[in-house]
Amino acid sequence: MQNFVQSIKDFAKNTKDKFKALSKNKKYAIIIGIVAIILAVIFSVTYGIKNKYGILFSGLDNYDAANISKTLEDKSVETKIKGDTIYVPREQVDKLRLELSPTITNGSKGFELMDEGASLSMTDEEFEIKKLRMLQGELEKTIKTFPQIDDARVHITQGEESVFSKNSKVGKAAVYVSLKNGKDLDETQIKSIISLVSASGRNIPKQNIEVIDQNMNLLSEGIYDKDGNAVKGMGLAASRNAERELSDELKKSLVEMLEPIFGRNKVKATVNANLNFDTVEKSEIKVDPDKVIKSEIRSENTSKDGAQTGSPVDNNMNNTAGGENSGSSSKEEQIEYEVGKTETKTITTSGEVKRLTVSVAIDGNLPAAKIASVEKMVASAIGMNTERGDELSVVAMEFNPDANNVFDDKEAAPETMKQKIINIAIIAGTILAVLTIALIAYLIYKGKKDKYEAEEELELEDTNDLIARMVREKEIEKTTELSLEDEIKVIVSQSPEEVTKLIKTWLND
């Protein structure tokens, strides 16, 4: 063991010595290679761990997520849960998905309830309750498949049917829908949900079904009347929008027609459209006075009887006397006439134009003939009908683009001019004051700047003088330097004893 440890130490020492002996470029290359290998290993391990698991189910209901997790735990399947997503080993995803998909209810149980518990011990009441729950669950599943709906709940109170109408009891239902973000249901789709619930339940009329969304909006309001008939009329908001759209469209068409004639922004138009949103059904029967034979029956009957006298015995004898023959005839004639008639049924749809009022203003003074021509053009453009009460007004006058008060009298003109002069004087004084302040500020700034520049120049001159003086002193020092021989002489003259000792030391050495 010690030899192994020693060999490792020797190997490490040799490697270290060899590494130190390498050039700098080779050292950098080896370090970069080692770092790249370490990063590759880390990336490979991380990627393998992350891709070890695959998504089994995501976005499950809490009830379904708990059941799936319990089933996977019983199967000893390695599971990883993040939020509402369940992960399992990637190679088991397909198999487990096929096995567990039938157990997902999305929060609604339908016929799966029949698999829970024994039905033999159930009472009739319990079976009816379970049957109702199954119906509600199946309806919820169906409604959740609609693309606009994220979640749904259905509550039903079943009705009762009887051969006696007075003993029948109508049912009721309420449908809650949670719409996806940005999605909405139109009237046709709401009717589809109501029809689905009505047809699935027992004696549940459509007018007894309410639909609400997650924002507590009653979506089914005003769709069916109390008799279950669809309300064909439009709501107040929709009616107002339709009238506004028609008015704006007619107004735009009038302005586009007249502006090329009178100039841009020279024409103003206002259109007020009233629409009739009532649905009217009208039946008309016309009777033709000429009669037409529908059927004719004629019959004629004729009968003849011979007259005899005496008894039956006497009638067989030759001595009987002959009587006169008698007969009868009848005629019967039956003719059935049909009166000609024509029946016409007319249904007027909602949205018919009830009345139009139009006003057009033109900038400028126009003659009466030209105004009449404009009225004719506008009437044709909007489809004017005087029989329904349409009104049209075309006026020509000078526009006031500056929005001045045209009702000011002449006496007020001097006051207005005086006020204008005062306003102009105030504005001019303000501008002059601002300019004066700006000029003063500029002069102050200019003075400070000149002073600063002068101080800088003075400082620069002082610096230059100092440098020149230092240079001169340095030159003087250079000229006054003593030679080596002169310095020795000065030292010997000042301290002869020390010099003597120094020479003796040199001689002894």
Are 143 and 16 in a shared domain?
no
Predicted local distance difference test score (pLDDT) of residue 295: 74
Amino acid at 402: D
pTM of the model: 0.40
Q: What is the pLDDT of residues 36-60, one digit of tens each?
A: 888 888 877 776 666 677 888 877 7
Question: For residue 498, is it within any domain?
Answer: no
**Cα–Cα distance measured from residue 135 to residue 149, given in angstroms and rounded to the nearest whole number:** 19
Q: What is the pLDDT of residues 178-228, one digit of tens each?
A: 998 888 888 888 999 999 999 888 888 888 999 999 888 888 888 888 877
Question: For residue 93, is it within any domain?
Answer: yes
Residue 6 in this model has a pLDDT that exceeds 70: yes
Are 162 and 225 in a shared domain?
yes
Residue 131 in this model has a pLDDT that exceeds 60: yes
- The angle, 0 to 180 degrees and rounded to 10, between the axes of the packed helices 236-262 and 368-382 is 140
Strand stretches in 198-248, DSSP E: 209-213
- State the burial class of residue 381 (Cβ atoms within 10 Å of its Cβ: 0-12, 13-18, 19+): middle
What are residue 347's DSSP bridge partners? 281
354 Cβ contact partners less than 8 Å away, ≥ 6 residues apart: 274, 275, 276, 388
Question: For residue 117, is it within any domain?
Answer: no
Are 166 and 187 in a shared domain?
yes
Are 379 and 250 in a shared domain?
yes
Are 32 and 61 in a shared domain?
no
Contact 88, 72 (CB under 8 A): yes
Residue 162 in this model has a pLDDT that exceeds 70: no
Domain count, the chain: 4
254, 267, 269, 397, 398 from 363: Cα distances, Å:
15, 6, 12, 5, 5
CA atoms within a 13 Å half-sphere pointing along the CA-CB vector of 57: 24
Are 34 and 164 in a shared domain?
no
Name which residue leads in pLDDT, 248 or 309: 248
Amino acid at 463: T
Contact 280, 347 (CB under 8 A): yes
Question: For residue 403, is it within any domain?
Answer: no
Question: For residue 421, is it within any domain?
Answer: no
Are 33 and 95 in a shared domain?
no
Are 6 and 94 in a shared domain?
no
Secondary element (H or E) of residue 464? helix 412-479
**Domain range enclosing 149:** 137-230
Are 36 and 65 in a shared domain?
no
Radius of gyration for the alpha carbons in the chain, expressed in angstroms and rounded: 58
What is the SS3 string spanning 314-333?
HHCCCCCCCCCCEEEEEEEE
Sheet of 80-82, strands arranged across: 53-58, 85-89, 80-82
Question: For residue 145, is it within any domain?
Answer: yes
Predicted local distance difference test score (pLDDT) of residue 145: 87
Are 221 and 176 in a shared domain?
yes
Which CATH number fits the domain that encloses residue 367? 3.30.300.30
Are 75 and 156 in a shared domain?
no
Q: What is the pLDDT of residues 89-116, one digit of tens each?
A: 888 888 888 878 777 766 666 666 666 6
